[in-house]
Amino acid sequence: MERALREMALGEYTAKAAWQLIRSSLHTDGLLFVKDIIDALFNVAIHHHVSTANIDETREWYDISWKIAGFIDEDLPREAGRLEAIGDILRTKAKIAESSVSAEEAMQQKYVPQILSITSYHGNKAQRKFIAKELNITEQILSRIFLTMQDAGLIVREQYGDDAIFSLTELGEKFVQQTKSSTNG
133 by DSSP, 3-state: which? helix
Classify residue 153 by its DSSP letter: T
Confidence of residue 20 (pLDDT cuts 50, 70, 90): very high
The amino acid sitting at 106 is A
Q: Of all residues in the chain, what percent carry a pLDDT higher than 90?
A: 8
Least confident of 23-32, 101-110, 141-150, 151-160: 101-110
Fold (topology level) of 103-184: Arc Repressor Mutant, subunit A (1.10.10)
Give the lowest-confidence range in 8-12, 105-109, 139-143, 153-157.
105-109
| Cα–Cα dist 20/25, whole Å | 9
Average pLDDT (93-105) is 62
Mean pLDDT of the chain: 81
d(CA 112, CA 154): 10
Question: How do the domains of the chain map onto residue ranges?
Answer: 2-97, 103-184
Name the band, by pLDDT with cuts 50, 70 and 90, for residue 160.
Answer: confident
* DSSP conformational letter for 154: S
23-47: pLDDT as tens digits: 888 888 888 888 888 888 888 887 7
Q: What helix, strand, coil percent values describe the chain, rounded to 5? A: 70, 10, 20
Q: Is the model's pLDDT at 165 over the cut of 80?
A: yes
Sheet holding 125-127: strands in order across?
A: 125-127, 163-168, 155-160
